[in-house]
Amino acid sequence: MTVKKERLGLIGYGAFGRLTARHLSAWFEVAAYDPAVSEGDAHAVLTDLATAAACPVVVLAVPVEALEDTLSAIRPHLAPDALVIDVGSVKVKPALAMDAALPEGVRIVGAHPLFGPQSGKDGIVGLRIAVCPVREAKDARRVAAFCRHALKLKVFQVTPEDHDREAAVVQGLTHLIARVLLNMEPLPTRMTTASFERLMQAVDMVRHDSPAVFRAIERDNPFAAEVRDRFFALADQARHDVDEL
């Protein structure tokens, strides 16, 4: 007996949207909408915005800077008790935007897979995801349980504020250092050390991230500026210490 899958609307079908569909299609019939994409694949059927937004579960895989416009566009089409999940790199700003824009009764959860198309290309089992409650804690618990048991992810249930505070260091510094090293290329590839190679592996994991991801991490995280200021102050101190040798 074949059990009919629940429909899931996926708004945004770029690189991360495709990764999302690949791992959710075993449990959901994925209907994806992306005006920049002309055809689907084995994991999702492309459809119009209204159809995708009317699904019982709606995942927003759009840049943080496009979220408010996306919320306005999907609002008229959402089911009264739809579950809406965003998967952006920051959580405070999207949580506030979704709570303000979406109708009462719509369930809202913030999620941030702590991996991307590059780091998840060989599978996502054992990788990390943050799940943040926005309206009802029970909805976040259910999403967390699905991620843990179905997707085999390591789940952290945190508030949007706690997420962004830690991500300002974890992601903010990684992308900042990577941006500097990428601008220094070409870098040596012959006489390298193990530590240098690991550093370059970290750079390669974010090399192809879109500019929108960098902007979200560095601009839309309310704690990122403080972390950058401390990093640059310590870098200046280190340069001063070297000059004094």
Percent of the chain with pLDDT strictly greater than 90: 93
Dihedral sign from CA coordinates of 71, 26, 119, 145: positive
**E strand segments, 126-169:** 128-133, 154-157
55-106 per-position pLDDT tens digit: 999 999 999 999 999 999 999 999 999 999 999 999 999 999 999 999 999 9
The band of 39, judged by pLDDT with boundaries at 50, 70 and 90, is: confident
Two structure tokens written together for 99 = 């709570």
What pLDDT sits at residue 2? 56
| Number of other CB atoms surrounding residue 125 within 10 Å | 11
Two structure tokens written together for 46 = 């492309």
Q: What's the whole-model pTM score?
A: 0.93
